[in-house]
Amino acid sequence: MELTRRQMIVTSGAALASFAGLPAFASATDDVIAELTGGATLGEGAITLGTPEIAENGNTVPVEVSAPGAKSITLYADGNPVPGVAKFTFGPLNPTRSASTRVRLAKTQNVVAVAEMEDGTWQMAKSEVKVTIGGCGG
């Protein structure tokens, strides 16, 4: 098959357009997290985030999260059109401070958990999930 100049321009333009949206989702997630935390420094190590390494179907990806001493945990998917996927708020009588759910992922991306701790600090954990069939129409 012979590739003409016009086909090459169209193909290159389509490739650039598909990559142009990638940083926007990551920065949208970063912006939402900064808004949630008020720009506070995020620590690491206090959250246990359980996700599969590979999800065969992005429609139902199981996620487990645990953060002893957390008041709330918010989950984000940095490659989804709307990054916020779940928020869990814990009362003082909840002994485990853990939750599990299923989320929809559009493509291979990071699942990010941000926890507000009882002492006012913020913790974060990330886990990459490789999606073979997208769950948001892809």
User: 40-93 pLDDT, tens per residue?
Assistant: 999 999 999 999 999 988 899 999 999 999 999 999 999 888 899 999 999 988
Task: Scan for tokens 């935390």, then name that residue.
Answer: 37
Q: Which pLDDT value is given to residue 13?
A: 58
pLDDT at 20 over 50: no
Q: Which pLDDT value is given to residue 99?
A: 96
Which tops the pLDDT comparison, 136 or 111? 111
User: 95-123 pLDDT, tens per residue?
Assistant: 899 999 999 998 999 999 999 999 999 99
Q: Which pLDDT value is given to residue 50?
A: 96
CA angle 52, 90, 33 (to 5 degrees): 60
- What is the DSSP secondary-structure string of 78-106? TTSSS-EEEEEE--TT-SS-EEEEEE--S
Return the bridge partners of 128, or none.
110
Q: Output DSSP code: residue 127.
A: E
